[in-house]
Chain A
């Protein structure tokens, strides 16, 4: 059964947008997975992985965010332009943060006592 709205249910002279209605089954599954991933990220934080802890936490958060974007915000079923607009914003934020970090790390040894050895010239 195609899950779309019936154009005949609206007033004459107007074309109803034929939208994809996400099945409850899909929404409920995504909801369950999100809760499981929340528990996972809390448990993973209890395990000492050293420097990997941040990476694992961010990876799980990214998976959760992707599920919300694709299914709850129905990017999976929409035109690609919407996803392109959003991902572009994310890429620019990534660029912004990484350049700020590069700059900060380059000068940190001069400004912060005990930060670490300077990069060799």
Chain B
């Protein structure tokens, strides 16, 4: 039974990686690593699947909340973030290719570019979150934005609209009237009935912050992994014979992009 090779490479300049004792060869070890990673990615899909389920059920039951509240999100920034992540996936795929070809400097550079684009994504997210915070468009009990009862044009204050007799009210009192948030002027507020904005708008923001927040945490984790890969690549630990960690980190990063590809139309492009 052949034992795994040790760290010293017989060929000058080539670094070999130890094949663990329970694998027959390096190829089997690499393929097993990939299978394990794909199983992990499947669990990530199930994790976000739970949140997508909450979105689906709530939107199916209260579509007016989503049609109304999504207008407070900046579609342009969301689209920009989508493009940023797509570019970061491109640089990541190129980085894996550089690792496969043994091009160390290119690999380090491309990993750095991916991290930079990820930081851009988080920066734009931060701008969006800050705006929500300032306008009080937060989740659940923290929601304290002032919503205009009429289609938003000029800021105006009106007395609170009382409920019609016998109409069922939600337990959460409606927001006070005042200037509208990011809703575009002149846009017809199709979701608003004669009583004003729909009830429970804060639930949309609960869903929004939960989903984008969890996604953002995954981006931060991805940046940490990419930094670690960059350090290891800088030390010359990867070669055409061993680039598994770069490949697996790439798979994780592409999954982060995948999730955002679905989050963007569901949260920002509601009709």
Contact = CB atoms under 8 A, between A and B. Distances in A.
Interface of A: 5-6, 9-19, 21-22, 24, 27-28, 30-31, 34-35, 38-39, 41-42, 45, 48-50, 53-54, 57-58, 60-61, 64-65, 68-69, 71-73, 78-79, 81-82, 85-86, 88-90, 92-93, 96-97, 100-101, 104-105, 108, 112-113, 115
A82 B57 contact: no
B49 interface: yes
Interface in B1-23: 2, 5, 8-11, 14-17, 19
A58 B271 CA distance: 13
Interface in B68-93: 75, 79, 82-83, 86-87, 89-90, 92-93
Contacts of B251: 73
A10 B31 contact: no
12 contacts: A5-B241, A11-B14, A13-B16, A31-B89, A34-B86, A34-B89, A45-B75, A50-B271, A88-B42, A90-B45, A97-B52, A115-B61
B155 interface: no
Given A27-B90, A86-B38, A79 B100 contact: no
B53 A97 contact: yes
Interface of B: 2, 5, 8-11, 14-17, 19, 25-27, 30-31, 34-35, 38-39, 41-43, 45-46, 49-50, 52-53, 56-57, 60-62, 75, 79, 82-83, 86-87, 89-90, 92-94, 97, 100-102, 167-168, 239-242, 250-251, 254-255, 257-258, 261-262, 264-266, 269, 271
The CB with the most chain B CB atoms within 10 A, among A13, A31, A45, is that of A13
A115 B92 CA distance: 46
A10 B75 contact: no
Contacts, number: 183
B83 A82 contact: no
A101 B56 contact: yes
A61 B261 contact: yes
A78 B16 contact: no
A81 to B, nearest CB: 7
B11 A9 contact: yes
Given A35-B86, A69-B258, A105-B60, A16 B240 contact: yes
B261 A12 contact: no
B177 to A, nearest CB: 23
Given A19-B30, A88-B42, A100-B56, 7 more contacts: A10-B242, A16-B240, A17-B31, A38-B79, A72-B90, A96-B53, A113-B168
A9 B35 contact: no
A38 B83 contact: yes
B53 A14 contact: no
